[in-house]
């Protein structure tokens, strides 16, 4: 599968709470990949992470929110893509149960709208020597954040990520 996919999950709710399937072998087959690693992050309301990518071994991520709400941002960074530089935004919440497949060739990040636990099922192991990022605040990406500027929490590393133009001077995908 070459492009991202938003999987709409059936959530079964009753007075006790809810149940939904976060992963199945059939999802893996539909996405034509094999998953090797699970990661969970916690982000306080206002946290912004990304945009990250890994080119060797190229990493795709199956992302869903276990608790909370995020706006998930992905940007097509494939050199020969007709959608190069196009940014997509998905609202992922523990209530809607949506799961986003972010394939290799897309930079990924998110903004926490509430305190949030996010789970990533990855199809390759993390390799710090072959990871990169693009600054979420790059004006070319035209991302409109929900949180107010004074409420944003971001790491120094993510603040200093390269511009989209700099990425385009040294494509990885």
Which residues are part of the catalytic machinery? 52, 120
Reduced to 3 states, what is the DSSP secondary structure of residue 56?
coil
Map tokens 């006790």 to a residue.
Answer: 16
Distance CA 73, CA 118 (A): 14
Map tokens 């960074």 to a residue.
Answer: 77
For residue 80, the number of C-alpha atoms closer than 13 Å in the C-beta half-sphere is 1
Q: Are 11 and 97 in contact (CB under 8 A)?
A: yes
SS (H, E, C) 97-157: CCEEEECCCEEEEEEECCCEEEEEEECCCCCHHHEEEECCCCHHHCCCCCCCHHHCECCHH
- What tokens were used for 9? 């999950």
């Amino acid at each position: 599968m070459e492009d991202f996919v938003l999987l709409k999950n059936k959530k079964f709710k009753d007075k006790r709470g809810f149940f939904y399937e976060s992963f199945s072998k059939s999802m893996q087959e539909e996405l034509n990949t094999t998953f090797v690693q699970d990661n969970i992050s916690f982000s306080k309301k206002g946290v912004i992470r990304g945009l990250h990518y890994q080119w060797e071994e190229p990493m795709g991520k199956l992302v869903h929110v276990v608790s909370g709400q995020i706006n998930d941002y992905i940007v097509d960074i494939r050199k020969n893509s007709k959608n190069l530089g196009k940014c997509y935004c998905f609202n992922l919440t523990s209530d809607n149960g949506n799961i986003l497949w972010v394939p290799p060739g897309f930079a990924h990040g998110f903004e926490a709208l509430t305190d949030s636990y996010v789970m990533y099922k990855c199809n390759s192991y993390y390799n710090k020597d072959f990871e990169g990022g693009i600054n979420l605040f790059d004006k070319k990406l035209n991302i409109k954040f929900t949180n107010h500027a004074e409420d944003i929490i971001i790491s120094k590393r993510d603040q200093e990520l390269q511009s989209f133009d700099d990425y385009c001077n040294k494509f990885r995908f």
